Amino acid sequence: MAEKKVSLPAKLINGGVAGLVGVTCVFPIDLAKTRLQNQQGAHVYSGMLDCLAKTIKMEGYFGMYRGAAVNLTLVTPEKAIKLAANDVFRQKLSKDGKLALWGEILAGCGAGTCQVVVTTPMEMLKIQLQDAGRLAAQRTVAAPASTAGPTPSLVASRAAQPGTNARPQPSATRITLELLKTRGLGGLYKGAGATLMRDVPFSMIYFPLFANLNAVGRTNDCHSSPQERAPFLQSFVAGCTAGSVAAVAVTPMDVIKTRLQTLQKGEGEDSYRGILDCVRRVIKREGPSAFLKGAACRALVIAPLFGIAQGVYFLGIGEHVLGLLG
Give residue-wise pLDDT tens across range 44-56.
899 999 999 999 9
CATH topology of domain 8-136+171-220+228-324: Mitochondrial carrier fold (1.50.40)
d(CA 286, CA 296): 18
Residue type, 186: G
Residue type, 213: L
pLDDT exceeds 50 at position 264: yes
Which residue would you say has higher pLDDT here, 268 or 187? 187
Bridge partners, residue 98, by sequence: 95
Bridge partners, residue 95, by sequence: 98
The pLDDT, as a whole number, for residue 142 is 61
Percent of the chain at pLDDT > 90 equals 41
Q: What is the mean pLDDT of residues 249-265?
A: 94
d(CA 305, CA 302): 5
Q: Residue 90 in contact with residue 103, Cβ under 8 Å?
A: yes
The pLDDT, as a whole number, for residue 190 is 93
pLDDT in tens, 281-313: 999 999 999 999 999 999 999 888 877 877 777
- 17 confidence band (pLDDT: 50, 70, 90): confident
pLDDT exceeds 70 at position 280: yes
Q: Which residue ranges make up each domain of the chain?
A: 8-136+171-220+228-324
- 159 confidence band (pLDDT: 50, 70, 90): very low
Give the least confident one: 46-55, 218-227, 274-283: 218-227
Residue type, 87: D
The pLDDT, as a whole number, for residue 230 is 66
d(CA 249, CA 205): 9
pLDDT in tens, 71-112: 888 877 887 788 778 888 888 888 877 888 888 889 888 888
State the chain's mean pLDDT as an integer. Answer: 82
Q: What is the mean pLDDT of residues 210-225?
A: 67
d(CA 193, CA 196): 5
The pLDDT, as a whole number, for residue 63 is 92
Which residue would you say has higher pLDDT here, 261 or 166? 261
- 164 confidence band (pLDDT: 50, 70, 90): very low
Bridge partners, residue 185, by sequence: none
User: Can you say whether the dihedral through the CA atoms of 303, 305, 311, 314 is positive or negative?
Assistant: negative
